[in-house]
Every structure is written in structure tokens, then in C-alpha cells.
Amino acid sequence: MDVVFIQGLKIDTVIGIYDWEREIRQDIVLDIEMSADIKTASKTDHIDQTLDYKAVSKRLIEFVSSSEFQLVETLAERVTEIILNEFGVERVKLTLNKGEAVTGAQGVGVIIERSVNG
């Protein structure tokens, strides 16, 4: 299976468990790898035959920017559910980086892999 990816998708949202985090917007960054068969698209050279990464990005920006989860784990799970359920992807690997949430760290977050088979 081939991979279509989106790297460094920055979205501002409300995320966190502390009171001060509930009152501000923070950037999270998504790196996404999605399984896709691109053979047909490579033969037809037509967007309808492939996984449209722009459509995926727009949908995730819409969802994440309006969400207000406390945990990055919950947000990551919901993002992968959207990709799997709405875009016909069989497998997705998502890195969700909350940035400098821990003093001294360049980034913190989660990496999850999900598939339609569990």
C-alpha cells in the first residue's frame, strides 16, 4: 500500500487540562500518514482517483479548530476516526505535537496508528 502524507499541519485549538489552557488557543501540529492505493490516479492523472490531501486538511482544520478537548489522546483518536471513516483510508499513522508544553522540550504529544480492522 502506498502512503499519502500531510506534514506539519498547524491548527490552533483549545487543548489542555489546566484552567489557563481552557482560556487560550494553542497551536498543535499534525503529521499524518494515510494508506492509499495511488496506482489508478497515476494512470488517469485525475484527483477523483486518489486521496485528496487538501480535502483531508480542510476537514481536520475545521474539526480541530472548533474542538475543546482536554487530552491530546482524545483529540488524536477523533482525528484518526475522521480520516478512517470519511476518506476511505484503511490505515493512518498520526503524530500530534502540542509543542513546548513541557519546559525544556521542543515538543510533546502522541503518536498513534489505527486501521479499519482495529
pLDDT tens digits for range 9-62 = 999 999 999 999 999 999 999 999 999 888 988 899 988 888 999 999 999 999
| Contact present, 69 and 57 (Cβ < 8 Å) | no
Q: Give the count of domains, the chain.
A: 1
| Contact present, 59 and 89 (Cβ < 8 Å) | no
pTM of the model: 0.93
Catalytic residues: 98
Can you tell me which residue has the cell 522540550? 105
Query: Which CATH number fits the domain that encloses residue 18?
Result: 3.30.1130.10
Task: Answer yes or no: is 113 within a domain.
Answer: no
The boundaries of the domain holding residue 62 are 2-96
pLDDT of residue 59: 98
Task: Answer yes or no: is 107 within a domain.
Answer: no
